[in-house]
Amino acid sequence: MTKPTAEDTCLIKKRSLANDYFAITLGPYSRVSQLRPGQFVHILMPGTDIMFRRAFSIASTKPEHKSFEILFKVFGRGTAKLGRLHKGDKLNVLGPLGNTFTWPRKGATCVMVAGGIGFPPLLFMAEQMVSKGYDPKSIHFFYGGRTSADILERTRLRKLGIRFHPVTEDGSYGAWGMVTEPVTEFIRDHGTKRLRLYGCGPEAMLRATNELALRLGAKGQLSLEAPMPCGVGICLGCVVPLTAGGHARVCVDGPVFDIGEVAL
């Protein structure tokens, strides 16, 4: 694992997406070429009223501009403050943090299961795979949300040429229901021999994805979300139980774990 460092950077660009979702680009950042899909950074909010850093997954990078992008939804004080920042505001970034997804073999069918704000690391991975010569049609991106407003960056996904499968709980966009339902059907139809499954999203979605993968015999990895006050394994605020016994810290032993590795 690369040793993380902390450095100041600036907000280069901010986009308001919809439904309190934002995308911001930060730079210049000297470690941008070392950022990998699955990893995250720890951002210190400007001012002194918010003590702990906030963890954000990497959504994309532009090494030629020394910049990277994060996507987030406003939930509490930290993300609300981040959403109110403007171009030129300074932020302190600690990173790169966490481990990374393992690339599938070329020729494998790659199934990505994204839910809510678990979307960014899988977007990053899909973009990286296409840039590295993977066949876009071998990447099936299942993206679930409560409503149409929770399905972000649709044009961006389509431009990649991947197979995009939107699913909403209210049926307002794409298929109706829970995202794991069409994923289950897809795996049953295509088999698991040359299939690799990746997931990131809310705990309930990850639990369901983990269970269906174990039931159907699909191999892959899940990126977990957890409170990370320190981000470097000291505070033990993100500890999860392992199926083989013992515990792991999501911030340093993860956030990416093999399917079946964590007792969800």
pLDDT of residue 48: 66
**13 is a domain residue:** yes
102 within a domain of the structure (yes/no): no
The pLDDT score that the predictor gives to residue 18 is: 82
Do residue 221 and residue 124 come from a single domain? Answer: yes
C-alpha 96: how far from chain center: 14
Q: Which parts of the chain register pLDDT below 70?
A: 1-2, 48
Domain that holds residue 23: 5-97
Per the structure, how many domains does the chain have? 2
Q: Which residues of 228-248 are buried (b: 16+ CB within 10 A; e: fewer)?
A: bbbbebeeebbebeeeeeeeb
b/e map of 92-111 (b: 16 or more CB within 10 Å)? ebbbbbbbbbebbeeebbbb
Dihedral in degrees, nearest 10, Cα atoms 35, 231, 117, 218: 80
Could you tell me if 142 and 87 lie in one domain? no
| 89 and 149 co-located in one domain | no
Task: Evaluate whether residue 156 is within a structural domain.
Answer: yes
What angle, 0 to 180 degrees and rounded to 10, lies between the N-to-C axes of helices 203-216 and 180-190? 20
119 and 175 in a single domain? The answer is yes
Tell me, what's the pLDDT at 227?
A: 87
